Structure 1
């Protein structure tokens, strides 16, 4: 039987080292000690999540709890999981008070160190998308199966605890049972940046070149007349995008899974601001802006899963079912045609192009080298770590952002710079309210926030600097927009930021 204190100790050990190998070894050693019933909840806690997911507890509740800690460790993993389930199940009148009482009972049985861990877990402060990769490797090491088998099962299931349970209890045979299932979204395949279009074409050989739209990623599942639409973070938005549902319901097929982008267009056919597209995803009432889908991949068609098929086959399936809604692009273009597509994308108000290897399978959830994106401006997706209170006309607003890049070894985001530029009055008001909701501490100078908001910044480049932990500093960074369609695990890595030193 493993105690919560064992998980807390390993979590602290992982946080204290920068070595990915050491992190993986520490987690793997603990995983080997778990009983069958402990695997799923312990894996969740090690990945910085609550067993079963979020429990609906806000920082206002957590911050108000003052509980005398237990003298000695006593809480088991099973007891923690049961307590989290109890808190999650509370609803209705007086639920806030009853949640606080349930949390108080749990924290009273925890030591001071365990209390801190539990509060941060309930608040989402420990969750780091990059840490999932370390836990995946630890699951492979502890179970003796291939890391690729664990990674694939996780990307298909979207549930790391269930994946760990399958690996540790059933091995590779159990992992192989995870397949693409209709209405269970999978993590999207991602593109990595390339310096130039010519570089990408030379690297990938026979490829497709497609417009990179300034829209929002969608994944659409259909089975018969039933259609569901998901965002890139796997959140279902079906009820908010009726026009997409009706369009896919009208396609000539029985079942399909499509990957693509959607965006709102103005009367001239140019993309509306990204925020207007995202507003549709959370709209509580009908809005005037219509969303237009542009699909670029087909992952399933009429009972056949296509994930492992090369892109050329998946594009053939896409043409079969949704040719009229395919994203602008060309297959195997010569350099002149590829350059023309790039210019056309920019002229149409889009971001650039994506170059894709025609022989590559669909690597769900991976940002590999089979898809390369090319944009004319330097942009980075970074995590907001804190914000400073403004002065002058910005007094009363949280303004200067502290920005972090993702640690590829699973640690917390690494600070690489600050910026207060590019913030409109609307954004200032929004982020001031949002940051206080996500606050984990602060003073009269600044507010620290949970590292989960992703912001896209444009910059002139980076320079070497000892001022920030990342060893680099952003040059003339300015905010383009927040990315509610991305989580911290999709932010650019500190290595990508440092790579801009070489890229000029």
Structure 2
């Protein structure tokens, strides 16, 4: 398959807001991809199969090869070159990588050069997000969407899921199982307006919603691995968690939970302090404490498809006192008490989980509902305006976007400069230019890289922004280095916050 076929499909996908049109275009490409389907899916998802190939931004932006007149470069050739670049190391490796990439870019057309540059710098945003791609895989392979999504949850890799579906259909997808040491996509909670609404889903467990960082832990004997919500391994950075899990009574276990740094009186430290440990390369005195809320494998038995009621029994057996605080099948009064206790101890609120729910990646309807007294949204930073008065010289007023669930660019829903401390202003001013797309006299516009948590009093109908809604009294809570733009809240979530009858 020619790289030009991928580039052309990428252009079609980014040019339409129709979900069906995106799925159709991607499915048609996947049917024609043959044995290059893994590389094709990886390119469209914005990350080569090789991950970061060791070529830095400075090397890439210096590539000024004259583009080819006609497309002739194949996907296989690009993939092989990426392999060579990734495998190049040692003395002279920088020069050799530049030579390999220069040769590659010299055989690419102008459009292909642009695509490759954006792919290698992590800036490819053509709209082929997970949900769209999964639907396209299902359509191309003529298999059930649920089967594709389950295989993706268990494999954690879109290219592997696509290759299995296109070569072996449903039977191949069914071979994916939970594998110790291979992280699975996490299940997420959807927001609920209040606790009473969340409890209406039937028998449930109500648990603290901690102001911590999501972790997934795999143990096989003494072999322990710890992963973030984005499936990045952080085992080496959290030795205290590894030792604690290694000493659990279970021989084999896969746990889902949160971890956070605590003060001497047991209250959570600022979220940024917890996240700082995830990037650490040396041991630190700031210790993390884990709280586990799900168990999807225990001593040879997979529990992915078991109801939460059974997984909760296995969880208590596996981790004992490390279970997150909560109450099983509470009355309204007991649930109110859990929420009050969580807030009193400095946490965000509670999560209500129905006991008959199985473990499924992503937000799955009303199986898990989060209840917080303060409305917050995780939004993408689209731009920042230069400040005035005391903030002159600082990038201040943020332009905020919600994720388009159909894979388009983020949809602007508001602006805010409230909640920005002097420290954050300084950080924004130094950090934002790294993601600059373009600027004018007043504003620096950013490529979609940064996610920020925004507190708000509500949402109102507005014609000012493309999404038809605007945030009310928005203020910055914190940046979310543990999240990427595809994990931001959607425009549908924002619109759902409109007062009844206000849509």
Pairwise TM-score range, normalised by the shorter structure: over 0.9
Give the match's secondary structure for 1:502.
coil
Deviates more, 1:275-284 or 1:69-78: 275-284
Q: How far apart, in 2, do the equivalents of 1:240 and 1:43 lie? A: 31
Give the match's secondary structure for 1:340.
helix
| RMSD (Å), alpha carbons | 1.8
Match in the other structure for 2:105: 107
1:434 partnered with 2:431: yes
- Give 1:274's match in structure 2, choosing from 266, 271, 276: 271
TM-aligned CA distance change 1:233 to 1:358, over 3 Å: same
Cα offsets for 1:70-114 (capped at 9, x unmatched): 111111111111122222223334444433332222111111111
TM-aligned CA distance change 1:230 to 1:403, over 3 Å: same
Q: How far apart, in 2, do the equivalents of 1:56 and 1:436 lie? A: 22
Match in the other structure for 1:183: 181
Within 5 Å, give how 1:251-270 maps onto structure 2. Answer: 251-270=248-267
Match in the other structure for 2:28: 29
| Paired residues of 2:13 and 2:128 also in contact (CA < 8 A) | no
Match in the other structure for 2:387: 390
Match in the other structure for 1:150: 148
Q: How far apart, in 2, do the equivalents of 1:254 and 1:433 lie? A: 47
Q: How far apart, in 2, do the equivalents of 1:433 and 1:86 lie? A: 34
Within 5 Å, give how 1:42-53 maps onto structure 2. Answer: 42-53=40-51
- Give 2:205's match in structure 1, choosing from 184, 208, 224: 208
1:244 partnered with 2:250: no
1:483 partnered with 2:480: yes
TM-aligned CA distance change 1:101 to 1:401, over 3 Å: farther
| Paired residues of 2:14 and 2:127 also in contact (CA < 8 A) | no
Match in the other structure for 1:359: 356
Cα offsets for 1:288-326 (capped at 9, x unmatched): 222111110001110111110000000000111112110
| Paired residues of 2:209 and 2:350 also in contact (CA < 8 A) | yes
| Paired residues of 1:294 and 1:327 also in contact (CA < 8 A) | yes
Match in the other structure for 1:90: 88
| Paired residues of 1:49 and 1:127 also in contact (CA < 8 A) | no
Tell me how many residue pairs correspond in the alignment: 501
Q: How far apart, in 1, do the equivalents of 2:160 and 2:31 lie? A: 16
Match in the other structure for 1:70: 68
Match in the other structure for 2:298: 301
1:13 partnered with 2:37: no
Match in the other structure for 2:400: 403
1:235 partnered with 2:239: no
- 5+ residue gaps, structure 1: none
Give the match's secondary structure for 1:287.
coil
Q: How far apart, in 2, do the equivalents of 1:90 and 1:19 lie? A: 42
Match in the other structure for 2:53: 55
TM-aligned CA distance change 1:393 to 1:56, over 3 Å: farther
Give the match's secondary structure for 2:499.
helix
Give the match's secondary structure for 1:182.
coil
- 5+ residue gaps, structure 2: none
Shift of 1:254: 0.6
Shift of 1:394: 3.0
Within 5 Å, give how 1:273-352 maps onto structure 2. Answer: 273-352=270-349
Q: How far apart, in 2, do the equivalents of 1:227 and 1:494 lie? A: 38
Shift of 1:443: 4.7
Q: TM-score, normalised by structure 2?
A: 0.96
Q: TM-score, normalised by structure 1?
A: 0.95
Q: How far apart, in 1, do the equivalents of 2:475 and 2:92 lie? A: 44
1:41 partnered with 2:39: yes
Deviates more, 1:397-406 or 1:132-141: 397-406
| Paired residues of 2:45 and 2:128 also in contact (CA < 8 A) | no
